[in-house]
Amino acid sequence: MFGDWARGVAYASNIIEDFQNWVTGWMDFGMFVGEADGDDSPIIINKTI
């Protein structure tokens, strides 16, 4: 899963498409997770940084 940009590209495309259709905001509850929480979110945070 790490190093594969397909999900990130699809995620960004969905956000861009929404903004092109006059959406006024964007929120994703599960956008960020730690490395131990799983890899189902678009951004995985390394807590050592």
Looking at residue 36, its pLDDT comes to 59
Q: What is the pLDDT of residue 13?
A: 92
Q: Strand pairing partners for 43?
A: 32
Q: What residues form DSSP beta bridges with 31?
A: none
Domain ranges of the chain: 6-45
Name the more confident of 5 and 17. 17
The predicted-structure confidence for 11-43, as pLDDT tens digits, reads as follows 889 889 988 998 888 777 666 665 555 556 556
The pLDDT-based confidence of 45 (bands split at 50, 70, 90) is low
pTM, full prediction: 0.53
Q: What is the pLDDT of residue 31?
A: 63
Return phi, psi of residue 45, to 5°.
-100, 135
Q: Show Cβ contacts of residue 35 under 8 Å, excluding neighbours closer than 6 positions.
A: 44, 45, 46, 47
